[in-house]
Structure 1
Amino acid sequence: MHIEILVEDSSGETLLEVVLPKLLGEYGNPHTWSMHSYKGIGRIPRNLKGSADPAKRILLDQLPRLLQGYGRTPGIDAVVVVLDTDRRSCVDFLNELKALAAGCHPAPNTLFRLAIEEVEAWYLGDRQALIDAYPRAKADVLNRYVQDSVCGTWELLADAIYPGGSAAIKKAGWPLPGQVKHEWAERIGPLLDPDRNVSPSFGKLRDGLRRLVAEAV
Structure 2
Amino acid sequence: MHFDILVEDASGKQALTLLVPRIIGQAHTYKIYSYKCIGHIQKNLKSKTDPQKRVLLDQLPRLLKAYGRTYAGYPPDYHAAVIVVCDLDAKCLKAFRQELLDILDHCNPTPKAAFCLAVEEGEAWLLGDTAAIVAAYPKAKRALLSSYENDAICGTWELLADAVCPGGAKALSTKGWYAVGGQKNLWAQRIAPHMDVDRNTSPSFCYFRDKLRSMLTPS
Q: TM-score, normalised by structure 2?
A: 0.93
Partner of 2:84: 81
Aligned pairs (5 A) from 1:50-89: 50-73=47-70, 74-75=73-74, 77-89=80-92
**Aligned residue type for 1:8:** E
Aligned equivalent of 2:150: 147
Structure 1 position 49 matched with structure 2 position 46? yes
The partner residue of 1:116 within 87, 97, 119 is: 119
Q: Secondary structure at the match of 2:216?
A: helix
1:40 matched to 2:15: no
Return the offset for 1:107: 1.3
Q: Which amino acid aligns with 1:23?
A: I
Distance between the aligned counterparts of 1:147 and 1:77, measured in 2?
31
Structure 1's unaligned 5+ residue stretches are: none
Q: CA deviation at 1:111?
A: 0.6
Structure 1 consecutive aligned stretches of length 4 or more whose deviation exceeds 4 Å: none
**Cα pair 1:133 1:191 within 8 Å, conserved:** yes
Q: Does 1:101 align with 2:104?
A: yes
How far apart are the structure 2 equivalents of 1:204 and 1:49? 29
Distance 1:3 1:147 in 2: 27
| C-alpha distance in 1 between matches for 2:124 and 2:177 | 22
TM-fit CA distance, 1:49: 3.5
Instruction: Show the counterpart of 1:135.
Output: 138
Q: Equivalent residue for 1:204?
A: 207
> Which range moved further: 136-145 or 47-56?
47-56
The alpha-carbon deviation at position 51 of structure 1 amounts to 4.0
RMSD between aligned residues = 1.3
Spell out, residue by residue over 1:29-62, the C-alpha distance to the aligned partner (whole angstroms, 9 max, x if none): x311111100000011112333432011000000
Question: 2:18 aligns to what?
Answer: 18
Q: CA deviation at 1:143?
A: 2.7
Aligned AA (1:32): T
Q: Give the match for residue 171 of structure 2.
A: 168
Shift of 1:140: 2.5
Instruction: Please give the alpha-carbon distance, in whole angstroms, between the structure 1 residues aligned to 2:201 and 2:81.
Output: 26
What percentage of aligned pairs have identical amino acids? 50
Asked if the contact 1:79–1:109 (Cα under 8 Å) also holds between the matched residues in 2, the reply is: yes
Alignment correspondent of 1:187: 190
Instruction: Give the Cα–Cα distance (whole angstroms) in 2 for the partners of residues 50 and 62 of structure 1.
Output: 6
Corresponding residue pairs, total: 213
Asked whether the 8 Å contact 1:48–1:104 carries over to 2, the reply is no
Q: TM-score, normalised by structure 1?
A: 0.94
Q: Which runs of 5+ in 2 are unaligned?
A: none
